[in-house]
Amino acid sequence: MILVALGSNLPGPAGSPRQTVERALAAFPDAGIRVLACSPWYRSAPVPPSDQPWFVNGVARVAFAEGDAAMLLARLHAIEAAFGRRRDGTRNAARPLDLDLLDMDGMVREAAPILPHPRMTERAFVLVPLADVAPDWRHPVNGLGVAALIQALGATERLDRCP
């Protein structure tokens, strides 16, 4: 199972943050990424807390048969760039599009791209939509299911389902 997180908190060439994540998802097939399922969209406060606009977030379950994790991540970065993302090294900056490779068939990698995504278990805006598309998913390192990971977070983040 391959899982990709989508997020946006700035308008970009595709429009509002919600329009951006929807149009980015629609661009996946042209990059050789087949969308199998997508969660509902959620609004979330920035993490760590800041005065940035709220994010629109979701998770897609996808298939990618054309290469390895590095190639898939390169395709995701190319989609980000097409939607106005500029990587300047600033962590947690506001952005028109953020695509993160969360898991690729349970692979564990300590070199780039690091898998599973190293901070995914700390983020409700990742785990809650992940549970929508893969409720039986288990973390490949610690073995915990997504429901247990969500429960372990407690109420640390504000997350609302988009209408």
CATH of the domain at 19: 3.30.70.560
Nearest to 80 by CA among 131, 14, 133: 14
pLDDT value for 47? 82
Q: Given the residues 23, 61, 75, 100, select the one marked as catalytic.
A: 100
Domains in the chain: how many in total? Answer: 1
Which domain does 145 fall in, by range? 2-161
pLDDT value for 75? 97
Q: How many C-beta neighbours within 10 Å does residue 71 have?
A: 13
Q: Are 42 and 157 contacting, i.e. CB atoms less than 8 angstroms apart? A: no
Q: Is 98 a catalytic residue?
A: yes
Which pTM does this prediction carry? Answer: 0.95
Q: Given the residues 98, 105, 119, 158, select the one marked as catalytic.
A: 98
The per-residue pLDDT for range 111-162, each reduced to its tens digit, is: 999 999 999 999 999 999 999 999 999 999 999 999 999 999 977 778 899 9
**E strand map for the chain:** 2-8, 34-38, 42-44, 55-63, 98-104, 159-161
Q: Given the residues 23, 43, 85, 123, select the one marked as catalytic.
A: 85
Q: Is 85 a catalytic residue?
A: yes
Q: Is 95 a catalytic residue?
A: yes
Query: What sections of 15-153 are H helices per DSSP?
Result: 17-27, 69-82, 124-133, 146-153
Q: Given the residues 43, 75, 95, 123, select the one marked as catalytic.
A: 95
pLDDT at 63 over 80: yes
Nearest to 159 by CA among 125, 126, 131, 134: 125
- Look over the chain and give the mean of its residue pLDDT values, rounded to a whole number: 93
Give the confidence band of 72 by pLDDT, cuts at 50, 70, 90.
Answer: very high
Q: Are 109 and 155 contacting, i.e. CB atoms less than 8 angstroms apart? A: no
